[in-house]
Amino acid sequence: MMKNFLTVCILAFLSATTVFSQNKKEVLMTIDGKPVYANEFERVYMKNLDLVQDESQKDIDGYLQLFIDYKLKIAEAQAQGLDKEENYLKEFSKYRDQLSRNYLFEDKVTEELAKEAYERGKQDVDASHILIRVDYEALPQDTLAAYNKLNSIRERALKGEDFAKLAKTYSEEPGAKESGGDLGYFSVFNMVYPFENAAYNTKVGEISGIVRTSFGYHVLKVNDKRARMPKISVSHIMISDKKGARTFNPEERINEIYSMLMQGQNLESLAKQFSDDKNSAVQGGKLKPFTKGDLRAPEFEDAAYALKNPGDLSKPVKTDFGWHIIRLEEKFPMETFEQQKEELEKKVNEGDRSKIVTSATNKKIKEKYGFKKEASYLPYFDTYLGDDILKRKWVMTPITANEDKTLFVIGDKKSTYSDFARYIEERQKTTRPYKLKETLLVDFYDEFETEELKDYFKERLEFENEDYAAILNEYRDGLLIFDVMDKNIWQKGKNDSIGIQEYYNKTKQNYLWKQRIDADIYAATSDVLAQQLVKMLGEGKTPEEIKIILNAEDKVNVLITPGVFEIDQRELPKNLEIKKGVSKIYPSNDSFVVVNIKEIIAPGSKSLEDVKGKVLSNYQNDIEASWIEGLHSKYKVEVNKKSLKHVKKQLK
């Protein structure tokens, strides 16, 4: 199922039906009389040629069949009304917003703010602050009183009074009496943008001007600035404590491995053999470079950064993922702006810097298409809106034609009082609580104007830019393909428990266990110890008895892993001779492995529970094949042979 879905996605995201001069294009085929143009097929074929794995589909005739299946799915999605579904429309709108960003004027402003953030991100700032709270909706006299109060406190600080004592006495920040306003070290994006500006623009030891944020008025004292910690690279061994019923104690196992490392055992070999982080285990435990905050495991990060020199090893560390032993490999210099650009621009657009981007973008759109304000909105809407808008329960009443004035004109599009009223009615559902109607109206109008400007830009862009229109259609069809497959194939298969069971019963010969063994795997640190092991097993000693004898004096010489294993599993030594009893000694990753095979289990069918995911995937593939066959019967597909011949000539 997933293989087919990937093929579908490739097609969906590379298809290129455009809105330009379609009547002049060569028709390759019709589906129930609806034309499909040759240039779309040509573009799809050329873009997908290197991506298609099936050699038969690289042939134009073979690829055409795949293309027809794709077009039939689109036709069926539209027939089922999936292009009218609310979720589809919302998802498409998100894609359109994301795509149009590449064409909007905001990219330059975003990049400038990202560069500023990059430069600031080279430092951490240690600062203290004093806060006098005042709401953005406070009355002017209250706002002035708060400002004057903080200004007088600032004057005292400038004259030399202890800043921490002033904060403890006057600051209205929760906890200020204990902290003295101390915020500790922070970096770029950790604070709201106006506060961050003050912190980075104030010199160490100096006191900032008064800063206004959504919390109120602040004044800062910068205590210190330091270079930010660079990325580091580490290797680790992880023993998970989340893998259900383990046959050993995870904490005991990590301590055993730590002892082996202290005895001189090789971390790479132990990681390959025992680490539960399979992705890094195959690399000898090595992780990709990271900085603090990247791993969502602060205990791990703190322990890693506490290591001073490459080769230094941590003691076992507990995180939400399990137990770890960490070795420092390398410390890196700061990343370049280009390396961080994508992440920084994302943060710019998600945070309060976005207001700066929005303002600059709106200005450019107005200049491009022309913008003219008409009637004022405040006098009319202050009366038109009832006080229930402050409770977010306002219901719009129709505005008469005589009263329905034009708010503004962008290009050739008018936005009216009624348009704004509809926006208010919908927007109130998700807004923060407001105390004053006038403040709400000012904020909502700014949002409404921005939305109308961007919508107009996007609408015009689809007609003005052929590449944008083509890519937008790719998203449109890609979403439809997903929805029609989800409804008709994936959910249908997933919810059909009887059908899955019947399919498994018919095909269980395809889901077989290889030969397996019930065994204890012993990994010793030397050949001599492994020989002792073999002798003890021959004498009938139990795993616990062997561990007590060989791991004496707090020295770990052997690790024991019991379980049931398929004969080619990673845990078993290569070329293991499968026979009951104690095996010979196998050198493996700097260890010496002995396997005590207690039982040999013959190949057999896996239960449905063992292979449910694979059975479901195969069952869904069967449903899809039948469904596609039905679509071919439902829709009339007529290929223009003359056009196809011309396409082949063009492509060759």
Please report whether residue 638 resides in a domain: no
In tens, the pLDDT along 33-81 reads 999 988 888 878 887 776 655 665 568 888 899 999 999 999 999 999 9
Predicted confidence at residue 462, as pLDDT, reads 85
CA neighbor of 482 nearest in space, from 95, 100, 50, 99: 95
Domain co-membership, 377 together with 449: yes
Q: What is the mean pLDDT of residues 265-290?
A: 94
67 lies in a domain? no
> What's the mean pLDDT in 135-158?
91
Task: Assess whether 548 and 597 both reside in one domain.
Answer: yes
Give the pLDDT confidence score for residue 51 in this predicted structure: 60
pLDDT at position 349, please? 84
Question: Percentage of the chain surpassing pLDDT 70?
Answer: 94
For residue 229, name the pLDDT band (cuts at 50, 70, 90). confident
218/242 same-domain check: no
Question: Which residues on adjacent β-strands are paired with residue 587?
Answer: 592
The CA distances from residue 514 to 60, 88, 120, 380, 616, in Å, are 41, 45, 58, 79, 21
The answer on 377 and 455 residing in a single domain is: yes
pLDDT > 90? residue 352: no
Lowest mean pLDDT among 2-11, 430-439, 489-498, 524-533: 2-11
Q: Are residues 198 and 182 in the same domain?
A: yes
Q: How confident is the model at residue 327 (pLDDT cuts 50, 70, 90)?
A: very high
pLDDT at res. 43: 79
Q: CATH number of the domain at 555, please.
A: 3.10.50
With a CB cutoff of 8 Å and minimum separation 6, the contacts of 486 are none
Asked if the model's pLDDT at residue 332 lies above 50, the reply is yes
Distances (CA, A) of 164 to 156, 179, 221, 224: 12, 8, 9, 15
Of the candidates 199, 227, 255, which is a domain's last residue? 227
Residue 534 has pLDDT above 70, yes or no: yes
Residues 211 and 236 placed together within one structural domain of the fold: no
Tell me, yes or no, whether 205 and 244 share the same domain. Answer: no
266 CB-near residues (< 8 Å, 6+ apart)? 589, 590
Alpha helices in 263-327, H assignment, sequence order: 267-274, 278-281, 298-306
pLDDT value of residue 106 = 73
Alpha-carbon gap, residue 269 to 426, rounded angstroms: 61
Q: What is the mean pLDDT of residues 541-552?
A: 92
Number of separate domains in the chain: 4
Mean pLDDT of the chain: 90
In-domain check, residue 308: yes
DSSP-derived letter for residue 225 is E
Q: What is the CATH number of the domain that holds 133?
A: 3.10.50.40
Backbone angles phi, psi at 123, to 5 degrees: -130, 150
Does residue 488 fall inside a structural domain? Answer: no
Give the pLDDT of residue 151: 96
Over pLDDT 90: what percentage of the chain? Answer: 72
- The DSSP annotation for 208-247 comes to ---EEETTEEEEEEEEEEEEPPPPEEEEEEEEES-SSS-S
Q: What angle do CA 49, 51, 54 make, to 5 degrees?
A: 80
Q: What per-residue confidence (pLDDT) applies to 55?
A: 63
Amino acid identity, position 614: K
Asked if residue 13 has pLDDT above 50, the reply is no
What is the pLDDT averaged over residues 141-155? 94
Residues 274 and 178 in one domain: no
Q: Using N-to-C axis directions, what is the helix angle for 466-485 and 86-100, rounded to 10°?
A: 150
11 confidence band (pLDDT: 50, 70, 90) = very low
210, 227, 244: which is the final residue of a domain?
227
In a domain, 641, yes or no: no
Say yes or no: 456 and 414 in one domain. yes
Tell me whether residue 476 is in a domain: no
Token look-up 């002035």 returns 144
- pLDDT tens-digit readout, 356-383: 888 888 998 999 999 999 999 999 999 9
- Are 192 and 286 in the same domain? no
Confidence (pLDDT) at 408: 97
Cα–Cα distances (Å) from 47 to 8, 41, 129, 239, in that order, read: 14, 10, 57, 45
Region 453-466: what's the mean pLDDT?
A: 89
Given 448, 464, 480, which residue is the final one in a domain? 464
pLDDT for the residue 73: 96
* Whether residue 239 sits in one domain with residue 223: no
Distance CA 163, CA 172 (A): 14
> Exposed, middle or buried by CB within 10 Å (0-12, 13-18, 19+), for 87?
exposed
465 vs 19: CA distance, rounded Å: 10
Pairwise CA distance, residues 488 & 491, whole Å: 7
Domain of 303, in residue numbers: 232-331
- The per-residue pLDDT for range 180-205, each reduced to its tens digit, is 999 988 889 889 999 999 999 999 99
CA atoms within 13 Å, Cβ hemisphere of 588: 24
CA distance 308 to 47: 50
Residues 531 and 597 in one domain: yes
Neighbour count for residue 165 (Cβ, 10 Å): 13
Sequence letter at residue 427: R
611 belongs to a structural domain: no
